[in-house]
Amino acid sequence: MWTSKHLETNTIHGGKTSQGEFGPLSTPIYQTSTFVFDSVEQGAERFAGEAQGHIYSRLGNPTVDELEARMALLEGTEAAAAFGSGMGAVSAAVLGLLKQGDHLVTSHRLYGCTFALFNHQLPAFGIEVSFVDLSDERAVRAAIKPNTKVIYGETPINPCLSVIDLDLIAIIAKSANITTIIDNTFMSPVLQQPAKHGIDIILHSATKFLNGHGDVVAGILCGKKDIIDQIKMTTRKDMGAIISPHDAWLIIRGLKTLHLRVERHNQNALAVASYLQDHPMIKKVDYPGLASHSGYKLLGKQMHGGGGVLAFELNGSFDQAVAFMNQLQMCKRAVSLGDAETLIQHPASMTHSTYEPEELAAAGIPQTLVRLAAGLEHVDDIIADIEQALVSAKKHAKSAA
């Protein structure tokens, strides 16, 4: 398997495990549920782990293998495991590493479904969860108990774009023999590689930047081979959140343009954030690429850019925020990110609707907060659409008064 020291090259050439019988340039799609054994003995050896080879696509598939090899290379880890969704990856990771009586420390701000899993489902299995500010060293150290087994976080955090110092989290965790999991979806390997900072498991919703075309739902875990193998042979195998060969192929195809796309997403998001921070109708802009953001100090050290997602609060009411979003014409009202189209959503009523009102307040997610995932359009068109919608929202406020 040929590899380069340059990520741009590895997104195209890295991880190729086979050219196939006929030497195709594009990765073959092994659209099969099962694999034929030459003999009963060979089948028995494969099931016993005594011989290499595929058995059944829930356990492994050549197309999926290539995606996993490529993602491990891009994230700088020993291995990777692909899943049928980002939440499939989250669930497999935490349930594969935690058991009844264990303790998880996580962020007080999380993607809504991850929060629901941790806040409602894990306690039902006898797993204790503490929600803290992972950017606060004292809070993290104070939350750790003798039974703490995992620290889980996102950086930047969905939806408010807070940034966690990965080096600090890794140091704290390693001193207490705790496994770390970081969701790297918002950055992608182009802008951030958590393994270089001592993180054990890196998680992606591959639906987003990795695929980049809004036509796949998938998840990825990258990490040390022993941990990834454990998850593959327990929670992924037995709970079945497997990715299809065709979806794996679509992500492999998307990865070929990952570096170029992320670069453009990043440029557009920075331009939009810079425009909004001086706008009279905007109360606050959350974007790590702005010097005013608390995470800006980690640019260059941990991140190579602010990313393609920003959040901003309207200087007005919830009704104004709704009026603003409903007036947008080119920007699409949809959850997700990393697509060619600019997507915009209202966290409190959409992605983070699993939070109770008091939980939203504690997490710092106001009713006027909007999250925007900058697309690949010309940035002037994105800004023009936002401006006309803000003007309309201002008129709405005057008419309502």
Alpha carbons within 13 A on the beta-carbon side of 336: 25
183 is catalytic: yes
Residue with tokens 């009844």: 100
CA of residue 245 relative to chain centroid, distance:
21
CB distance 195 to 74 below 8 Å: no
Known catalytic residue at 152: no
Handedness of CA 14, 183, 290, 394 (dihedral sign): positive
Out of 46, 65, 102, 111, pick the active-site residue: 111
Identify the active-site residue in 46, 208, 232, 394.
Answer: 208
DSSP designation for 100 = T
Which residue of the set 16, 56, 58, 283 is catalytic?
Answer: 58
Give residue for tokens 């065709």: 246
Nearest Cα neighbor of 152 from 87, 76, 93, 228 is 93
Query: What is the residue-wise DSSP string for 316-345?
Result: S-HHHHHHHHHH-SSSEE-S--SSSS-EEE
Distance CA 208, CA 263 (A): 15
**Are 282 and 267 in contact, with CB atoms under 8 Å apart?**
no
Active site residue 136: no
Mark 38-63 as b/e (b = at least 16 C-beta within 10 Å): eeeeebeebeeeeeeebeebebbbbb
Catalytic residue among 183, 286, 339, 385: 183
Residue 208 annotated to the active site: yes
Task: Report whether 295 contacts 163 (CB < 8 A).
Answer: yes
The Cα–Cα gap between 188 and 183 comes to 9
Catalytic residues: 58, 111, 183, 208
